[in-house]
Structure 1
Amino acid sequence: MTILPLRKFFAAAVVAVCLPFAPLTALAAPAANLPDFTDLVDKVGPSVVNIRTTTRVTLSPRGLPPGMDNGDMSEFFRRFFGIPVPQGPQGGQSPRGGQGGGQDSGPDSGNDTEQSSGVGSGFIMTSDGYVMTNAHVVDDADSIYVTLTDKREFKAKLIGVDDRTDVAVVKIQANNLPAITIGDSNKVRVGEWVLAIGSPFGLENTVTAGIVSAKGRDTGDYLPFIQTDVAVNPGNSGGPLINMQGEVIGINSQIYSRTGGFMGISFAIPIDEAMRVADQLKATGKVTRGRIAVAIGEVTKDVADSLGLPKAQGALVSSVEPGGPADKAGIQPGDIIQKFNGQTVDAATDLPRMVGDTKPGTRSTITIWRKGTTRDLPITVAELQPDKGTKADQRKAPEPKPRAANALGLSVTDLTADQLSQLKIKGGVMVDSVDGPAARAGLQKGDIILRVGDTDITGAKQFQEVTSRLDSQKMVAILVRRGDNTQFVPLRPRNPGQK
């Protein structure tokens, strides 16, 4: 009798029990369906490149880092190695292998040298040397080097970067290169097999595989990411995400991680978005986007129900830049943007992409929902400028006037003419104190109430009359301004005597 180790014994027992009940063909079927990536890697591999970047640093005459003198290094070597510090010769062999002396041998002189600053990946877009990668791969680089799979290395010229989409294009002086095939990221399906090729941790031409686990994952203003479970690690950035047809459908850009390494979720920039950016970078070295100068937020189900919207979709206008395109078009805080140029705005994150893809100067149409009705407004798209920090409104609230309690748990006071002028509003009341429903919803002293339901608020007395008629069985949307931002807050009025 043959004695099997315990682990092998259980394996044999399972097979012995299962075989009589399952045909051999049934057991072999799953293996036959597993994908074979070998031909795919042979086809796409040569189009993937390694990218390393360097920055220029200045060393002291003895090869020491800036700010560290010879005495510091002597003590370091004495303590940890028991040897004296290597001395830079005066007229002898220099730390860089050349001859000492000359202009670099003086006590205050220094040497410039290149220091490695990062490693990433990329892929060949065109046979004449255009390479796409991530913007963060080439950030702050003084020199960029591209290495092909045949070990040829080229110093690359930076064509342009776009930080908003994390896309960059560089150019190497070479021809007849194996350009990658560009796919269609709109045709990507959740569950399909994909693979990544790149240089994780500097390990060139590493292939990992998995499936698309989600589409349209919003983690940025302009990027509906492709989410996968493909193993992506530092160094994979900028490399291609490949489908089973050998087409690039995305650029591996980000991972979700609590440790710095792969944890099962990675994100790729859709290639359609990346190519639109790359075409502009190749043509002008920069990306031009449209803007309409509004701040927007999500339309929640509670807000949609309280406003009578059929479904929770669109972009809620929280603030409008004075004198901007939206202001000139008549858009107001509290409006719900439902369409842009006939395209439905399903989520708030759709609008920045729609507007951003529109050429500045284009006359467009924007559809809004206001007080239970829809209307189309003509708007001329402006050019998006670099981000500028905004200062919070630091105006002090005036001394409160006598308060008036109501079913929403709000005590309010009238605004003075100067306050209305400073805030650039025509009406409203200032919150003096909160309790009950308003407190639970997060309203604060100093907030401005602009509208209750579909009724514009003009003063404390009128506000009291409006709130006294509210139905405690129905949610009501309160349009609230805080600082420079405006948003709807759904509240359920309390019954008389209720806290």
Structure 2
Amino acid sequence: MLFTQVGNSKITQMIACASASVLVALAPLGNAATAQTTSAPTLSVPDFTSVVAKTEGSVVNIRTTESVPTRGPGMGPNSNDPYEMFRWFFGPDFQPPGMPGPGQRGKPSPAPQERERTIPRGVGSGFIISADGYVLTNNHVVAKANGIFVTMTSGKEYTAKVIGTDARTDVALLKIDATNLPPLPIGDSTTLKKGQWVLAIGSPFGLDSTVTSGIVSAINRDTGDYLPFIQTDVAVNPGNSGGPLIDLAGRVVGVNSQIISQSGGFMGISLAIPIDEVMRVVEQLKAHGKVTRGRIGVQIGPVSDDVGKAIGLPDAKGAMVSNVEAGGPADEAGIRAGDVITKFDGKDITHMTDLPRIVGSTKPGVRVPMEVWRKGKTVTLKVKVGEMPSAEGETTSGQPEAPKAAPTDVLGLKVSAVPEAISQKIKGGVQVVEAEGQAAAAGLTAGDIILTINDTDITSPEQYSKLVAGLDKSRAAALLVMRGDQTQWVTITPGK
């Protein structure tokens, strides 16, 4: 109501009087002289004009075209051929009874041949990174395009060539035939702080050279993608993709890539790829036209607080190994399912998503140290990093047969020996035949294999029974459970 009535003089006077009354009431509580001279610090919005003036000439508009299949000329419901209208709606082989096609009286008309035509595909943004014509943008801006056209702020247009793309980081490197271009200086995204002013320049909805401003809302925002993002509240919309995120010194600190929106438009959350990560990709694209990444052959999951406490991990950090690829680099290094990787090549693994990023940036073929948490202590191993293939296959496992089970124990489980077909692939363990109560609530089901409880490996049903009978009923037990080819820790509190 205050905003709708702000022009009402009576209300304005009432607010002013109320403010004066408060000031009079508070004055005696402190030194009058101090009250008169002390004032809140004045904050002002920075002037962006100088930053825009020296950077917008390096930002480009990118439009793309693609080829789509289409019928020959004159096809469709508006065709001059009266019989084509029927074929358009009922299929190319349709021949109306008693209505032979022209020149084919009494015979079916031949189906029209499909052709290709070029149509506009989309509009994005990019920016110049070198005077000799290298341009950066997003991979999704140019993917599947058969024509890429770069337009400068002066209106001059160039046909661009794709030097290389990387779908994992959504980066594409283009080249245009031009010289003496104004490149944007590259900044340092590792020094960004929350609350720092940043600008975005791009072509939202095709409106080229549009400038928006905001602040850094979060750093290292994990969205489940390969990279952590810079989160801002800068207005970024479709068409801004591939444009630069610029600091007040006029340096690129990120590449605008995504928005989080329920409407398809800006809703206050924009995501940019950190420029440090981008430039590492650019170096490889320039040199090889593709990106080579390292891999160690593990599947990982997060470490929850409950699991961390149950296995004695000081902090719920790291990447929990759920599966180790047989014969892979991790397997050869001695990494086991259930290990928690806490450090790789001297770098801390705080969150599980740190591991693939650090491993991926490691050169294949080198041998690096890594630390894992295993059975209450840190173990240091050395792993020879392999090369990540372009696509990794998935393996599946059949459902094991259900052997004879023992009575339900304090964890709510009935278990038996591991069938021979499975015991040839793993060492020790017991198989779940039935799960009920707290075990079922924890997600265990028939066929699961229990490999470890807390810090003790399971070797047989008899050893498992003795171990479970002696569990502390006042705290949750951590079970390392294998299902198919996947392994994860599960916590269960023993029943009374």
The TM-score with structure 2 as length reference comes to 0.87
How far, CA to CA, are the matches of 2:124 and 2:219 in structure 1? 24
Kindly state the Cα deviation for residue 111 of structure 1 after the two structures are TM-superposed: 6.2
Q: Match of 2:8, as an amino acid?
A: F
In 1, Cα distance between equivalents of 2:37 and 2:237: 39
Q: Contact between 2:245 and 2:252, CA under 8 Å: does it hold in 1? A: yes
Aligned to 1:43: 54
Distance in 1 separating the partners of 2:412 and 2:309 = 21
Match of 2:270 among 243, 257, 266: 266
After superposition, residues 360-439 of structure 1 pair within 5 angstroms as 360-393=364-397, 395-421=398-424, 424-439=425-440
Task: For residues 449-495 of structure 1, give each alpha carbon's deviation from its aligned partner in whole angstroms, at most 9, with x where no partner exists.
Answer: 00111111122222111100001012211000011110111111111
Q: SS at the partner of 2:391?
A: coil
For residue 138 of structure 1, what is the amino acid of its counterpart? V
Match for 1:186 among 179, 183, 190?
A: 190
Q: Cα distance, 1:128 vs. partner?
A: 0.6
Does the aligned pair in 2 maintain the 1:404–1:460 contact within 8 Å? no
1:52-85 deviation line (CA, Å, top 9, x unaligned): 100123554425479999559979xxxxxxxxxx
Q: Are the equivalent residues in 2 in contact too, given 1:407–1:493 (CA < 8 A)?
A: yes
- Alpha-carbon contact 2:74-2:80 (below 8 Å) kept: no
Which residue of 204, 212, 215 maps to 2:208?
204
Question: What letter is aligned with 1:200?
Answer: P
Partner of 1:440: 441
Q: Secondary structure at the match of 2:73?
A: coil
Are the aligned partners of 1:434 and 1:445 in contact in 2 as well (CA < 8 Å)?
A: yes
* Partner amino acid, structure 2, of 1:327: D
RMSD: 2.7
1:39 positional shift: 1.1
State the secondary structure of the residue aligned to 1:313: coil
Residues 216 and 471 of structure 1: CA distance in aligned 2, closer, same or farther (over 3 Å)? same
Q: How far did residue 189 of structure 1 move?
A: 0.2
Go from structure 1 to structure 2 and tell me whether the alpha carbon gap of 1:66 and 1:440 turns closer, same or farther (over 3 Å shift).
farther
Which residue number in structure 2 is paired with residue 34 of structure 1? 45
Instruction: Rate the CA distance shift 1:68–1:296 in 2: closer, same or farther, 3 A.
Output: farther
After superposition, what is the alpha-carbon deviation per residue over 1:65-115, rounded to whole angstroms, capped at 9, x for unaligned? Answer: 79999559979xxxxxxxxxxxxxxxxxxxxxxxxxxxxxx9956765321
Change (3 A) 1:415 1:224: same
Contact between 1:60 and 1:66, CA under 8 Å: does it hold in 2?
A: no
Describe the shift of the 1:64–1:183 C-alpha distance in structure 2 as closer, same or farther (beyond 3 A): farther
CA distance in structure 2 between the partners assigned to 1:478 and 1:224 by the alignment: 31
Partners of 1:221 and 1:352 within 8 A in 2: no
CA distance in 2, matches of 1:172, 1:132: 11
Report the 3-state secondary structure (helix = DSSP H, G, I; strand = E; otherwise coil) of the residue aligned with 1:29.
coil
In structure 2, what is the equivalent of residue 458 of structure 1? 459
**Which residue number corresponds to residue 241 of structure 2?**
237
Q: What CA distance in whole angstroms lies between the structure 1 residues aligned with 2:36 and 2:84?
A: 73
AA paired with 1:477? A
Q: How does 1:472-483 map to 2 (within 5 A)?
A: 472-483=473-484
Say if 1:285 and 1:464 are closer, same or farther in 2 by CA, change over 3 A. Answer: same
**Superposition map of 1:46-445 within 5 A:** 46-62=57-73, 64=75, 112-393=116-397, 395-421=398-424, 424-445=425-446
Contact 1:58 1:66 (8 Å CA) reproduced: no
Q: Which moved more, 1:12-21 or 1:329-338?
A: 12-21
**How far has the Cα of 1:188 moved from its partner?**
0.4
Aligned residues: 458
Matching residue's letter, 2:412 = G
**What SS class does the counterpart of residue 414 from structure 2 fall into?**
strand
Q: Give the residue type in structure 1 aligned to 2:7.
A: K
1:9 equivalent in structure 2: 8
1:173–1:15 distance in 2 versus 1, CA, 3 Å: farther
Unaligned 5+ runs, structure 1: 76-105
CA gap of 1:390–1:126, structure 2 versus 1, over 3 A, is same
Matches of 2:316 and 2:152, distance apart in 1: 49
Tell me by how many angstroms 1:392 deviates.
2.7
Cα deviation code 1:6-26 (max 9, x no counterpart): 541257437744886699996
Unaligned runs of 5+ in 2: 24-34, 87-109
Paired-residue identity, %: 52
1:23–1:391 Cα change, 3 Å: farther
Q: Specify whether residues 474 and 19 from structure 1 end up closer, same or farther in structure 2 by C-alpha distance, changes over 3 A only.
A: closer
Counterpart code for 1:406 = D
